[in-house]
Amino acid sequence: MTTAAELDAADPLSGYLDKFYRTEEVVAYLDGNSLGRPTRASVERLASFATEQWGSRLIRGWDEQWYDLPLKVGDRVGAVTLGAAAGQVFIGDSTTVILYKLIRTALDARPDRDEIIVDTDNFPTDRYLLEGIAAERGKKLRWITPEHDAGATEAQIAQALGPKTALVVLSHVAYRSGYLADAEAITKIAHEAGALVLWDLCHSVGSVPISLDEWGVDLAAGCTYKYLNGGPGSPAFGYVRKEHQDSFRQPIQGWMGTSNPFEMGPAYEPHDGIRRFISGTPSVIGMLAMQDMLDLIEEVGMAGVRAKSEKLTEFAVELFDKLLAPKSVVLASPRDPARRGSHVTIDHDSFAEVNAKLWTQGIIPDFRRPNGIRLGLSPLSTSFQEVETGVRAIEAGLQ
């Protein structure tokens, strides 16, 4: 088996490791899929923003730069990571709120249909939102139950689709198993049944190549604090396909999405195009750090990011086979790298305690109920050595 040192030495992207801020106390950071590290550039950008932008420009900053930022940064996210032409991506609220807005938008666009397809392994916020919206709008949820190391398959979705399906809501990469759905194929079969599709890209954006325009996707949303390293609570993005924008209306009709916010007119009049999906004043501070990560991803290209990601997860699975499978640890992610995002989940009944112990040693994966440790391998900031250190510490923790 190739060693971590050899893999790091052969890694064409190893020079990027140093573009991220690090402290010595953390010896293996394996949770970049929950919260990416700050880039060094962001550490500087955040500090200088306070004095040079906010402190100096004051309210003038809105006219000069900030008002357009949600769409400018949205276009960058679209171009660098989503395969989306300009004018289809906005940065705004939390993922949860954007998902709410887009789910409601889609249901209103299919008023004669009353079913929504979702899977039981989707992220909690997606499931909870859908329960609430179904109750609010008198719709029914059709649940798909994936295998424990996989996600909703084309066959399962084809079976659930019908003339009543309004919307399919799925994660592109499953937050627990790491299963990478075939978004293009699923979008196609949903469209053949007359349904709309909303992809949750939280665990794929910035780690897996995405081609929303080419795949014909209607709607998408995703986090920016995971593989886009936007910092804790940085605002999410939403994608609305160009051809839908002027006929779709979103439910949180705020002043920032109107045709002329500073007219302060008597009634809501949605702006043309993607701006109508914005509701209130956006977090300008929240949009700073993600811009630095987008610069790095653009330099490398998503194909390069994905190649490193596959090597990292392959290495994690190899180490799992050698060190952990003999100790009754179970792989809860797909074995086929083509069907896997950038994290690997492994299950064992003692992992809640093992994970807590790792955190005291500066080894930081995360624990996911009921018994999983997720090894999140953010491609540009994670070394092969960190993967090995992490898996060896888990092995030692099982003694």
Ligand X SMILES: *Cc1c(COP(=O)(O)O)cnc(C)c1O
- Using the Cα atoms of residue 115, residue 238, residue 217 and residue 109 in order, give the sign of their dihedral: positive
Q: How far is the CB of 366 from ligand X (least distance, A)?
A: 11
Nearer to ligand X, 203 or 306 (CB): 203
Q: Which residue has the tokens 């993600």?
A: 290
Exactly one of 75, 121, 126, 200 is catalytic; which is it? 200
Footprint on residues 315-354 left by ligand X (CB under 6 A): none
209: Cα separation from own chain's centroid: 12
165: Cα separation from own chain's centroid: 25
Helix, strand and coil content of the chain, in percent to the nearest 5, comes to: 45, 15, 40
Footprint on residues 76-95 left by ligand X (CB under 6 A): 94-95
- 119 scored as a contact of ligand X (CB under 6 A): no
Nearer to ligand X, 76 or 203 (CB): 203
CA atoms within a 13 Å half-sphere pointing along the CA-CB vector of 325: 9
Binding ligand X by CB under 6 A: which of 202, 296, 354, 380? 202
Alpha carbons 341 and 7: distance in angstroms, whole number:
20
Q: How far is the CB of 236 from ligand X (least distance, A)?
A: 6
Footprint on residues 160-199 left by ligand X (CB under 6 A): 171, 175
Binding ligand X by CB under 6 A: which of 67, 72, 108, 125? 125
Footprint on residues 203-262 left by ligand X (CB under 6 A): 203, 223, 236
Exactly one of 20, 90, 225, 315 is catalytic; which is it? 225
Q: How far is the CB of 375 from ligand X (least distance, A)?
A: 16
Binding ligand X by CB under 6 A: which of 121, 126, 292, 366? 126
Active site residue 306: no
* Sequential DSSP letters for 105-137: HHHHHSTT--EEEEETTS-HHHHHHHHHHHHHH
**Are the CB atoms for 90 and 250 separated by under 8 Å?**
no
Nearer to ligand X, 123 or 384 (CB): 123
Alpha carbons 150 and 179: distance in angstroms, whole number:
5
Binding site residues, ligand X, CB under 6 A? 94-96, 123, 125-126, 171, 175, 200, 202-203, 223, 236
Residues labelled as active-site residues: 123, 200, 225-226, 374
